[in-house]
Structure 1
Amino acid sequence: MYKLRGHHLFCLLGYRGMGYSQEYVENMTSLHQTLRDNPKTRIQLVKGPDQLCEKYPNSGEYHCQDDNIYERDAVILEKLGLNIGQILNWKDIELLIRRYIVPSDIQSVCKTCSWRSYGVCEEGIQEILEGKGLREVK
């Protein structure tokens, strides 16, 4: 079982193999591939730093404790009808995304995210809406 915070549910949709450091990329790629290969993988929703944050590089200000990140987590969980502490499998998260999320939500929910300008998160949501699942990271 993986422990994830709210906004990382969206980050996984847009993940294309880029990240903050090699260690972070390896960790994110491993999780992403696990969810892609086994959508029944269980996820526990947590408040604050999660298993992806563990590999965020220590370069001064700790991004994972920023108030904007906590707000983004809360908004995403609310849009999906989810709560901290809840445990569900990735497949069920994808079903909730299909039910409650549209690609343009990224523009408002993730407006302070530095990765938003790449457009990959909207693409990832669209692929989930089309039933394609997570895109292969090459």
Structure 2
Amino acid sequence: MVHLRGHHLLCLLGYQGMGYSQEYVENMTRIHQTLRNNPQTEILLVLGPDELCRKFPDNQPYHCKNTSVYDHDAAVLRKLGLKVGQKLTWKELEDALIADMQPADIPRLCSKCAWLSYGVCEQGVRQIKSGAGLPLIR
């Protein structure tokens, strides 16, 4: 079972192999590939730091416990009609994303994200909505 916080559901949609450090990228790639290759993987929605935060580099300001990040998680879960503590498969989460998320939601939900300018998350929403699943990592 993979433990994920709310906003990381969107980060996974746009993930292209970029990250905060090599260790972070390796961890996120592993999780991303697990979900892409096995959409029946169980996910537990958690409050606060998750399996991606676990590999956040020590040499950068740790933002995973900031109030703004918790607020971001809550906004994403609210948009998707989900709650902390729910257990779902990645496929069920994809279905929620297909039903409730639009590419235009990303700039509003993720306005403070350093990765927003790349446009990869909006593209990831389009890809999920097309039925293609998580994007290939280039």
TM interval, short-chain normalised: over 0.9
Per-residue CA deviations over 1:27-62 (Å, capped at 9, x if unaligned) read 000000000000000000000000000000012531
> Which residue of the partner structure matches residue 15 of structure 2?
15
Q: Contact 1:68–1:112 at 8 Å: present in 2 too?
A: no
For 2:125, the aligned partner's letter is I
For 1:77, the aligned partner's letter is L
> Which residue of the partner structure matches residue 98 of structure 1?
98
For 1:112, the aligned partner's letter is K
> Which residue of the partner structure matches residue 64 of structure 1?
64
- Does the alignment pair 1:82 with 2:82? yes
Which moved further from structure 2: 66-75 or 37-46?
A: 66-75
Q: Provide the secondary structure at the position in 2 that maps to 1:63.
A: coil
Q: Contact 1:43–1:88 at 8 Å: present in 2 too?
A: yes
In 1, distance between residues paired with 2:9 and 2:70?
Answer: 13
> Which residue of the partner structure matches residue 38 of structure 2?
38
> Which ranges in structure 2 are unaligned for 5 or more consecutive residues?
none
In 1, distance between residues paired with 2:70 and 2:44?
Answer: 16
Q: Contact 1:14–1:121 at 8 Å: present in 2 too?
A: yes
Structure 1 runs, 4 residues or longer, greater than 3 Å off = none
Total equivalences in the alignment = 138
Q: TM-score, normalised by structure 2?
A: 0.98
In 2, distance between residues paired with 1:72 and 1:108?
Answer: 10
Q: Provide the secondary structure at the position in 2 that maps to 1:19.
A: coil
Which moved further from structure 2: 52-61 or 93-102?
A: 52-61
> Which ranges in structure 1 are unaligned for 5 or more consecutive residues?
none
In 2, distance between residues paired with 1:71 and 1:3?
Answer: 18
> Which residue of the partner structure matches residue 125 of structure 2?
125
The alignment's C-alpha RMSD in Å is: 0.7
In 1, distance between residues paired with 2:31 and 2:18?
Answer: 14
Q: TM-score, normalised by structure 1?
A: 0.98
